[in-house]
């Protein structure tokens, strides 16, 4: 009997080798702590833990298929939990990618449908049921969980494209792997291939961890924009594509820090970061290069477009009670980008002098 148990355990671990080895690695290996990003790590780890539980339930269900004298109720419980957790795990992966969606009620509606339909298995055969010979019987709504799982995969892909729009293609590669692995595994399981989706989700979580780590090394922790080091890197890699440089500097940060404290100053800087992220398209990349200084690199050299973009950002900042000074130059007018940045800064400082002059005249 003991040998049988250990044999079962060995077969289980072999079948789910990648699911458990990668899953345990994601769960126990500490990740770099960034105050604003810990929720991503937590949600990813919860997702991995759920997938490992699903693997155990899968194995239990496979055991029930060949066992005798198994209570129908017990197998139904395992089946219902399994069918609910699968789309739930995919949903959680999407929420790790875009935590802002946690507040959107519609994201939970498909999962609620799965719960409502599959719990009917306790008193109806409309979804799934088991006959007296312990045989599995799929009802007319038996594919609900699989369909909702695929729907959540499609939602995750849409979230990836939306949340990370404007990022360079090479930065998106790990996220494309997340979407591709989950989709392929989901489709194969839908046509009858077993034990793929669990491993696919865990591998997807691993690639997402890689993506998080890579992006954090490039990010400014306070504003979630790119940092100074990434600015230098992008200038080297994308010099030919940079057409316009926009220099931005917050007005009145020192006074705000002195009168209301540094927490208020940090909040203002975070607001600037949110406004810039809201307004960037595939043409722009925004960086916080230190203190209250920001740089935006644009692929456009059309004055009308740049002016319109600056006016939109300025208006959004004004709505948030923040004033910034702006200066921009077209790179083609200068010998090198470094000289262009210097001139953009000079234009920004002229704009800042005008701002403070107006403030002084208003007091008089």
Domain limits, the chain? 2-218, 228-363
Total number of residues shown for the chain: 364
> What pLDDT band is residue 318 in, cutting at 50, 70 and 90?
very high
Q: CA-to-CA distance for 182 and 90, rounded, in angstroms? A: 9
Q: CA-to-CA distance for 177 and 173, rounded, in angstroms? A: 6
Q: What is the pLDDT of residue 34?
A: 45
Q: Which of 90, 240, 68 is nearest to 154 (CA)?
A: 90
Contacts of 266 (CB under 8 A, 6+ apart): 222
> What pLDDT band is residue 68 in, cutting at 50, 70 and 90?
low
Q: CA-to-CA distance for 91 and 95, rounded, in angstroms? A: 6
Lowest-pLDDT range of 101-115, 159-173, 311-325: 159-173
Q: Does residue 38 register a pLDDT over 70?
A: no
Q: CA-to-CA distance for 41 and 30, rounded, in angstroms? A: 9
The model's pLDDT over 93-145, given as tens digits with 9 standing for 90+, comes to 788 777 778 888 999 999 999 999 999 999 898 998 887 777 788 899 988 98
Mean of all residue pLDDT scores within the chain? 84
Q: What is the pLDDT of residue 118?
A: 94
Fold of 228-363: Alpha-Beta Plaits (3.30.70)
| 8-state DSSP, 195 | S
State the average pLDDT over residues 282-302.
92
**Does domain 2-218 bear CATH number 1.20.1070?**
yes
Helix (H, G, I), strand (E, B) or coil at 323: coil
Is residue 64 a contact partner of residue 135, using CB atoms and an 8 Å limit? no
State the average pLDDT over residues 226-251.
91
- DSSP result, 335-346: SSHHHHHHHHHH
Establish whether domains 2-218 and 228-363 are of one fold.
Answer: no
Q: Does residue 346 register a pLDDT over 80?
A: yes
Q: Does residue 2 register a pLDDT over 60?
A: no
């Amino acid at each position: 009997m003991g040998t049988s148990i250990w044999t079962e355990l060995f077969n289980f671990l072999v079948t789910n080798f990648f699911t458990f080895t990668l899953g345990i690695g994601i769960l126990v290996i500490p990740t770099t702590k960034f105050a604003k990003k810990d929720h991503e790590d937590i949600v990813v780890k919860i997702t991995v833990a759920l997938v490992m539980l699903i693997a155990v339930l899968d194995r239990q269900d496979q055991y029930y298929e060949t066992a005798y004298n198994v209570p129908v109720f017990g197998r139904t419980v395992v089946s219902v939990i399994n069918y609910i957790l699968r789309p739930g795990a995919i949903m959680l992966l999407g929420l790790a990618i875009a935590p802002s969606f946690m507040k959107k009620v519609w994201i939970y509606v498909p999962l609620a449908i799965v719960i409502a339909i599959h719990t009917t298995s306790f008193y109806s055969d409309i979804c799934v049921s088991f006959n007296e010979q312990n045989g599995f019987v799929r009802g007319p709504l038996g594919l609900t969980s699989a369909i909702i799982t695929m729907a959540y995969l499609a939602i995750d892909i849409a979230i990836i494209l939306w949340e990370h729009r404007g990022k360079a293609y090479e930065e998106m590669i790990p996220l494309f792997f997340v979407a591709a692995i989950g989709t392929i595994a989901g489709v194969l399981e839908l046509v009858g291939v077993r034990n793929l989706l669990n491993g696919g989700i865990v591998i997807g979580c691993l690639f997402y961890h890689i993506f998080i780590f890579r992006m954090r090394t490039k990010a400014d922790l306070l504003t979630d924009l790119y940092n100074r080091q990434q600015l230098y890197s992008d200038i080297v890699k994308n010099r030919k594509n940079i057409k316009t440089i926009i220099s931005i500097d917050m007005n009145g940060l020192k006074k705000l820090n002195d009168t209301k404290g540094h927490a208020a100053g940090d909040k203002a800087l975070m607001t600037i970061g949110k406004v810039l992220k809201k307004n960037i398209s595939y043409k722009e990349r925004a960086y916080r290069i230190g203190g209250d200084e920001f740089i935006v690199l644009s692929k456009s050299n059309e004055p009308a477009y740049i002016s319109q973009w600056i006016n939109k950002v300025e208006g959004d900042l004004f709505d948030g009670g923040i004033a910034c000074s702006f200066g921009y130059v077209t790179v083609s007018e200068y010998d090198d980008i470094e000289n262009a940045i210097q001139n953009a800064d000079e234009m920004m400082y002229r704009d800042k002098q005008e701002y403070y002059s107006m403030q002084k005249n208003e007091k008089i």
